[in-house]
C-alpha cells in the first residue's frame, strides 16, 4: 500500500500447503497471510487493517473461502488478528530450523462471498 510515493504497508499472500498444520488442515492448498508490515513512520494510521481488508477484497474476487495465518501465541499479534475478525483454530509448539520452539496459533477468517 502506497501513500503518495511512500510505501506504507506490505502484505504477502500465498496459495499453498502449509507444512506445520497437516493434522488440522490436511494436504490441500489454502490461502495464507504470511507477512503484514507497516513502515514505522505510518504506524497508528490503521494501514495494517486497510491492507488486510484489501487482501480480503482480492481473495473474494478469486473465489477464496478463507484466509489462514499462524503467529506466535505470545505477544500482541493474536489479539490484533482477533480484532480483525480472525479466530483461533489451534495452538501448538513448533520447533524452527534454528532449534528454537515457540507456541504458535493457527488462525482463520472467512472470506465473505461477493
pLDDT of residue 41: 94
pTM of the model: 0.92
Contacts of 72 (CB under 8 A, 6+ apart): 78, 102, 103, 104, 105
pLDDT of residue 113: 80
Domains and CATH numbers, the chain: 2-110 (3.40.630.30)
Query: What is the mean pLDDT for each group of 10 consecutive residues in the chain (114 residues)?
Result: 93 95 94 96 94 95 96 95 97 95 97 82
pLDDT of residue 79: 96
Amino acid at each position: 500500500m502506497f501513500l503518495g510515493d511512500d510505501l506504507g504497508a506490505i502484505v504477502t499472500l500465498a496459495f499453498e500447503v502449509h507444512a506445520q498444520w497437516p493434522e488440522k488442515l490436511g494436504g490441500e492448498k489454502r490461502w495464507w497471510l504470511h507477512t503484514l508490515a507497516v513502515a514505522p513512520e505510518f504506524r497508528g494510521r490503521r494501514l495494517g487493517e486497510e491492507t488486510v481488508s484489501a487482501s480480503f477484497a482480492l481473495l473474494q474476487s478469486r473465489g477464496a473461502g478463507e484466509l489462514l495465518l499462524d503467529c506466535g501465541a505470545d505477544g500482541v499479534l493474536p489479539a490484533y488478528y482477533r480484532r480483525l475478525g480472525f479466530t483461533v483454530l489451534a495452538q501448538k509448539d513448533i520447533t524452527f530450523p534454528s532449534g528454537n520452539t515457540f507456541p504458535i496459533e493457527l488462525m482463520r477468517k472467512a472470506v465473505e462471498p461477493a
